[in-house]
Amino acid sequence: MRLPGITENILMDVKTKYPGYTHIALDVNDISAVEKPIENLGITITEGPVTLPDGGIMFFIRDPDKNAIEFHQNPS
């Protein structure tokens, strides 16, 4: 949801917290196969890739409305 005068993600980036989902997560088989095309499109990776303690790998991008989108590869 975008409210007038708010340019950040209202669920993640503003001090007042509202109920709702903070991001969606997409399960992928090969994180590198997703990362390269995203970078080639000029989309900024805002966090990651991060290797998790269980061996999973994830990274985040933001859509034009500042919604966070996670790409997650499960451990092998």
| Per-residue model confidence (pLDDT) at position 1 | 46
| Per-residue model confidence (pLDDT) at position 33 | 96
pLDDT tens sequence across 45-69: 999 999 999 999 999 998 887 788 9
CATH of the domain at 52: 3.10.180.10
Asked if the structure places residue 7 within a domain, the reply is: no
Average pLDDT of the chain is 85
**How many domains, in total, are found in the chain?**
1
Beta bridge partners of 42: none
Task: At 74, list the tokens.
Answer: 């499960």
Asked if the structure places residue 6 within a domain, the reply is: no
| Per-residue model confidence (pLDDT) at position 4 | 56
String of b and e for 41-71 (b: at least 16 CB within 10 Å)? eeeeeeebeeeeeeeebbbbbbeeebbbbbb
Query: Over pLDDT 70: what percentage of the chain?
Result: 78
Question: Assign residue 11 a region: left if phi > 0, alpha if psi is -120 to 50, beta otherwise?
Answer: alpha
